[in-house]
Amino acid sequence: MALSREVYEALEAIVGPGNITEEPATLHAYAYQWMAELVSDVSGGSKFFDRPEAVLVPGSAEEVQAIVKACNRYKLRFHVYSTGWGPWAAPPAKDQILLDLRRMNHILEIDEQNMFAVVEPYVVAGQLQAEAMKRGLNNHISGAGAGTSVLANACCFQGGGPDCIYFASPQDSILSIEWVMPTGEILRTGSLGSGLGWFCAEGPGPSTQGIIRGALGGSGGWGVVTKIAIRLVHWPGPAVMPIEGTVPSYGSPLPEDLFRAAFPAFPSWQAYADAIYRIYDSEIGYIAHRQFVMWGDELQAAFLKIVTDPTRQLCDLQELLEEPEVQKLAEEMRRNFQLILAGMTPRDLEYQRKVLDQILRETGGWNIAAVDEPDLQRYVLLFMIKLCFKNLNFTATGGFIDTYNSVASPDVWASGEIEAGKALLKKYAGRIADAGDQAMGPVSGQGGGGVTGWEDFLFYDPQDPDSAKAAVEVSDEGDRLKAAQGRPPGGMLLGLARATHADERLRAQKLAKIAEYRWQRKLKEALDPNGVGSGNYFWGAEPAQGKDESSETAELPSV
């Protein structure tokens, strides 16, 4: 339903005439999203979710506040995004306006001494990193890559990534927050709430860390976070990373006495898990991730050859797969991860290298020799430190989801789940890409270690209805297999896409089975009494009287 002229004019008066639109073509651009075709009960199998009624590009927290107050006055629902990548960025239902925060794009402060930055929502990780590196600092980058919002990854979404082992998880890196709550009030949390600056999340002002972020963040359902302070870490490299090579095969020749990319590989999953424990214990590593298996354990070696050679193309894949050298590398890489060692001094790097060597000796592992080849070393360092090639997830077919994820202690790698995930993908090979094990994930999702796991990727063709259907079938079957073991569902991305776009009432009924979501509903009602904040939020309905309120997860995937 189109906005009334009264509402439109009220919103236009807040942001100015050039910063609001009802142009149908533009509204469709905001409805278009990755995975829309998989949520076919909403999209009809198209690339389009529901379109917003209008899009606004506010320029300040004050404008956001005025918009939110207007939404409360007119009982108008709003959805909000920063960089807008992913199905959860599209409006979750009809009759909503969308706030695109792209004009709020400033790095407000980098406090070198106290090692934090204050940013607005549209500052992407690659931008902050470039400025931080000039000061000998670095910032966490979400696994989704350099083009995603620092603020949204920290406050509003999962946001973990390959560097958590050293940088800590994003939720642990949030300091103070400026938050336009769903009522339009502005809450400043942590030390900022007491006028003492941005340095602390938990006080002396109010702490809302658990509410604003929790495990997954509010996905835009908690009002609008307009500024955050985020913790930074040490960067021992140059102020500007040097880049060499021809597009797209760029690489970074970093000082060899401070940086080293390694591919630790293991004869068994048990050895792999043991090595992760030892890495936690020895506190080595700057970035640690099982990255390149995103292309599949059968294809990753060939793909590495393609992306590091500007003359190569995907049509070379079959030929490469038949080369003995590539086959050998693929076999070596079957149980490997990528480890970036960064020494704060040359002695530090030397120490870390020796520790790694010892871990490999003790676990029967080895470092894959190919990574010492200079071009690959430069490519891997650039890839992992800048996360500037993360859209390679889409290279093979144009679409991917994750399907059979696991998050747990390192023993999970030896639990048989990798093989189970691979067998599931093989069952559907043909309708989806036949790539093998695609369990990509961090060596640690927490600072210093403690939790690891993976996303089991699946490549499908978004324009091929049968391939898209297969992707959904794999995900559903994976969730059923997990449920049969009493484990949470494995497909995070499709699960979120469905959950955020499902009928709200139905979703609430399903999520009511999970106690956490019932509590979130109570919070949502308290903080958003007019229900104008986005429905893109996980909250559960009140359970029917007399029903068991214990936590239950098995039916989540059927949302």
CA distance 2 to 448: 51
CA distance 38 to 47: 9
Q: Give the gyration radius of the chain's Cα atoms.
A: 23
Angle between helices 465-484 and 417-428 (to 10 degrees): 150
What's the min distance (Å) between Cβ of 165 and another protein?
Answer: 22
Which one, 28 or 354, has the nearer CB to another protein?
A: 28
CA distance 166 to 185: 36
Which one, 267 or 430, has the nearer CB to another protein?
A: 430
What's the min distance (Å) between Cβ of 337 and another protein?
Answer: 21
What's the min distance (Å) between Cβ of 14 and another protein?
Answer: 15
Q: How far apart are the first and last CA of the chain?
A: 26
What's the min distance (Å) between Cβ of 377 and another protein?
Answer: 15
CA distance 508 to 543: 10
The answer to whether 131 touches 108, Cβ cutoff 8 Å, is no
What's the min distance (Å) between Cβ of 158 and another protein?
Answer: 17
Which one, 296 or 445, has the nearer CB to another protein?
A: 296
What's the min distance (Å) between Cβ of 31 and another protein?
Answer: 8
CA atoms within 13 A on the CB side of 153: 29
Which one, 48 or 179, has the nearer CB to another protein?
A: 48
The answer to whether 229 touches 358, Cβ cutoff 8 Å, is no
What's the min distance (Å) between Cβ of 34 and another protein?
Answer: 5
Which one, 327 or 558, has the nearer CB to another protein?
A: 327
Which one, 111 or 316, has the nearer CB to another protein?
A: 316
DSSP state of 385: H
353: left (phi over 0), alpha (psi -120 to 50) or beta: alpha
H or E segment at 370?
A: none
What's the min distance (Å) between Cβ of 139 and another protein?
Answer: 12
Alpha carbon 282 to chain centroid distance?
Answer: 27
Which one, 348 or 477, has the nearer CB to another protein?
A: 477
Which one, 243 or 344, has the nearer CB to another protein?
A: 243
CA distance 518 to 243: 50
CA distance 281 to 291: 22
For residue 444, which of 157, 231, 161, 154 has the smallest C-alpha distance? Answer: 161
For residue 225, which of 237, 209, 241, 238 has the smallest C-alpha distance? Answer: 209
Sheet holding 186-188, edge to edge: 107-111, 116-119, 224-231, 174-180, 186-188
Alpha carbon 325 to chain centroid distance?
Answer: 34
Which one, 375 or 411, has the nearer CB to another protein?
A: 375
Residue indicated by tokens 């079959």: 318
What's the min distance (Å) between Cβ of 260 and another protein?
Answer: 19
Which one, 81 or 404, has the nearer CB to another protein?
A: 81
What's the min distance (Å) between Cβ of 519 and another protein?
Answer: 33
CA distance 118 to 228: 5
What's the min distance (Å) between Cβ of 459 and another protein?
Answer: 6
The answer to whether 376 touches 260, Cβ cutoff 8 Å, is no
Which one, 296 or 478, has the nearer CB to another protein?
A: 296
